[in-house]
Structure 1
Amino acid sequence: MAMNWKSCLTFVVSFLLFKVSHFAEFATTVPSETQLAIQGQNTVLDCSFPVDKQWDRTCCQIEWKLDKEVVHSFYYGQDHLNDQSSRYVNRTSLYHSDIEKGNASLRLEHTTVGDEGNYICTVHTEMGPKRKSVYLKLAAFYSEPRLKFSTSACGVELLLTTKGYPRPSVQWLTVSGEDVTNDTVTHLSQDAQGLYTVSSTVTLQGAVNKTLMFVLKNKDLGQEIRRNITLLSGNCVEVSPGVCQEIWWLVITILAVMLKYCSCI
C-alpha cells in the first residue's frame, strides 16, 4: 500500500511539473522593434504562439487591441467582430489557415495616421492567456513642394508648401552651404487625417542674384527632397509715372529626390 501511495504521489508531482513546464513555455511572440507602415497601404502586425499535436482550434482565442479599442477578435474557430471598433470595420483579418501553425498575425488594410499606436496581441488557450505588445508607427511620403512666388517694390517672397507625415526637418541653405533657416519662417499644421502641411517662406529684399536650396527630410522613410531656387533681379520698369518696379526671374532646379524606403505588402 505504501508503494502505491508513493507511486501516486510521484505521478501527481510529475504531472504538475509537466503542466508548469508546459505553461512556462507557452508565450506569444511579436517583433521587438517598432513596426513601420505607409499611409494608405496595407501592413501586417506579426504575432505567433507555440502549438502541439493536442492543440484545439476551437479552444483558441485571439484578440488584438489598440489601447482599449477592440481591433479584431477570434474564438470558437471563427471571427467575432460585434465589439470591434467602428474605424476598423472591413479593414482587419487574420490568417485563418495558419492559425493552427501558431500564426496570430493581424493584417490591417488602408492604414491611416490614426492607426498609429501600441497594439496588444492576446492568445488564450487551455494553458491560459498570454499577451505581447507591438508599436505601429505610420509615415507618409512628402509631396512635391508647390511654389508660390510674389513680388513687391521692396523685394520678393517665396512660399513652398508640401504635405506628409511625420513632422519633418526643414532647412534653407545658400550655395556655399551656409544655413539661413533662421532667416525664414516655417509653419506646420495638421489636417483631419493627421498629415502635416509644411509652409516655408523666405523673403529677399532689394536687387538680388542669389540661389537658395530648400531641404526637407522625412527620416522615418529615408526621404529627402532638395530644390535649388535661383532668383535674378533685372531692369527696373515703369509701372506708373515715376514708379519703377524690379523685374524678377525665377529658376527652380530639381537636384534630387531620394526615396530609400519601399513597401509592397
Structure 2
Amino acid sequence: MLFFLLLWTLLRCADLFSITVPSDPVLAVRGATALLSCLFESDSDPSKLVITWQRVEDMRVVHSYYHLKDQLERQSADYINRTQLNYNEIAKGNASLSIATFGLKDAGKYECVVSNTKGTDKGTLQLNYAAIYSEPRLSIHLKSSNVTVQYETEGYPQPEVMWFNSGGQNLTNHQEISSASDEGLYYLKSSYVSQNPELNITFTLKNPAAHQELQRHLILNYEGGQSSSSSVAVLSVLCLCLLLSTGVLLYFYCRGKPAHKPMLNNHH
C-alpha cells in the first residue's frame, strides 16, 4: 500500500511540472533574430537540467543543453552558429531560444523539451515567416493609345494590392507574382493601364503577416499628343513655303540679270 501511495505521489508531482510556450503563432521577420519562448519551473539543482529544442516535422536537433553547457554535437547543420540560450536566465526557469538571420526555411513547428528534478514536459510552438516589402519601384510607359503605370517590389507572403482613383474607386489592375525564391521573397509586378494620359491614382500594398501597409500616390499630367503633332505639321508647312519662296526669288533674279556680252577686238 505504501508503494502505491509513493508512486501516486511521484506521478502527481510529475504532472505538476509543466512548461509554457506561446499558444499563438510567433512571427519572425526575414534577416532578424527570432525568439522562441519557453518557460519552466526551476529547481535548486541546475546541474540536472536538460533543455532540448528540435523541429517537429523531422525531429532535427536545433539546440541542446545539459551538464551546465551547450551540447551541440547532434545539432542540425542548418542551425550551426545561429542559436543561443539566455544563460543568465536559465536558472530562473527560462529556456527561450534565439535563432539569428531567420529565413523562410526556418519557419515551422518547434518543440521545447525540459527536464529537471521536478519532472519532464514539452511544448510545441509555431514559428511563421514574413519579409517586409521593399520600396516599390515606379516605371511609366507612354504609348500613342495608352499609358501604363507599374510598380515592382519584393517581400513575403503574397500581398494584397489595390489601385484607386481620386474618387476612391477600386481600379482593375494586372499583377504578376513569381514564386518565392531561395531567399524567401516573392517578386511582384503590378500595373494599371489607362487610355487617359492624365492620371490621379493611388497604389496600395498590404502585407498583414508583417503588419505592413504601403501607399504611393501618383499624379500624371501629359501635355503631348495632338498638340505636338500639330506643331510639327505647322513647322513642316512653313519650311516648305520658305523653300518655295526662295526658289521663286532666285528664278526672277536670274531672269532679270543682264547677260554678259563678249568683248570685240578692234583691228586696225
TM-score by length of 1: 0.78
Distance in 2, matches of 1:16 and 1:143, equals 60
What root-mean-square deviation, in Å, do the aligned CA atoms of Structure 1 and Structure 2 show? 2.1
Where in structure 2 are the equivalents of 1:94-243 lying within 5 Å? 94-125=85-116, 129-180=120-171, 183-189=172-178, 190-205=180-195, 207-236=196-225, 237-238=228-229
Shift of 1:176: 0.9
Distance in 1, matches of 2:68 and 2:224, equals 79
Write out per-residue CA displacement over residues 106-136 of structure 1, whole angstroms, 9 at most, x where no aligned residue: 0111212222111111113356542111111
Partner of 2:21: 30
Q: How many residue pairs were aligned? A: 227
Distance in 1, matches of 2:217 and 2:163, equals 10
Task: Report if aligned partners of 2:14, 2:120 keep a CA contact under 8 Å in 1.
Answer: no
Partner of 1:252: none
SS of 1:97 mapped into structure 2? helix
Task: Compare the two structures and name the one with the higher helix fraction.
Answer: 2
**What amino acid sits opposite 2:35 in the alignment?**
V
Shift of 1:171: 0.3
Partner of 2:50: 61
Considering only CA atoms, is the larger Rg found in Structure 1 or Structure 2?
A: 2
TM-score by length of 2: 0.77
Distance in 2, matches of 1:228 and 1:127, equals 61
SS of 1:157 mapped into structure 2? strand
Runs of 4+ in 1 over 4 A off after TM superposition: none
Task: Report if aligned partners of 1:94, 1:104 keep a CA contact under 8 Å in 2.
Answer: yes
Write out per-residue CA displacement over residues 7-38 of structure 1, whole angstroms, 9 at most, x where no aligned residue: xx44x344223211111101221111111222
Distance in 2, matches of 1:228 and 1:44, equals 37
Partner of 2:7: 16
Task: Report if aligned partners of 2:133, 2:154 keep a CA contact under 8 Å in 1.
Answer: yes
Q: Name the % identity.
A: 33
Q: Which ranges in structure 2 are unaligned for 5 or more consecutive residues?
A: 234-268
Partner of 2:74: 83
Q: Which ranges in structure 1 are unaligned for 5 or more consecutive residues?
A: 1-8, 243-265
Task: Report if aligned partners of 1:93, 1:106 keep a CA contact under 8 Å in 2.
Answer: yes
